[in-house]
Amino acid sequence: MAVEQPDSEPIRRGTERDLGRILEIESHSFEKQWDADEFKAALNELFLVYQERDVLGFLSACRCALAKRAVIMRIAVHPDHRGKGIATSLIAAALDRLKKMDIAEVELDVEIVKKGAIELYEKFGFQTRQVVTVNNEANDSFCVMTLKLDGE
Higher pLDDT pick, 139 / 4:
139
* Residue 40 in this model has a pLDDT that exceeds 50: yes
Alpha-carbon span 63 to 124, nearest angstrom: 19
For the domain made up of 11-148, give the CATH fold. Answer: Aminopeptidase (3.40.630)
Confidence at residue 141, expressed as pLDDT on a 0 to 100 scale: 85
CB 95 within 8 A of CB 61: no
DSSP 54-108: SEEEEEEEEEETTTTEEEEEEEEE-GGGTTSSHHHHHHHHHHHHHHHTT--EEEE
List Cβ<8 Å contacts ≥24 apart for 138-142: 139/113, 141/111, 141/112, 142/109, 142/110, 142/111, 142/112
- pLDDT at residue 7 greater than cutoff 60: no
Q: What is the pLDDT of residue 8?
A: 58
Mean pLDDT of the chain, nearest integer: 90
Mean pLDDT of 63-89: 95
Q: For residues 14-18, give the mean pLDDT.
A: 96
- Tell me if 143 sits within 8 A of 130, measured CB to CB: yes
Task: Residue 56: name the closest of 30, 85, 31, 34 by CA.
Answer: 85
CA distance 21 to 29: 12
Percent of the chain with pLDDT over 70: 90
For 6, phi and psi rounded to 5 degrees?
-60, 150
Better pLDDT: 139 or 119: 119
Q: Which pLDDT does position 152 carry in this prediction?
A: 52
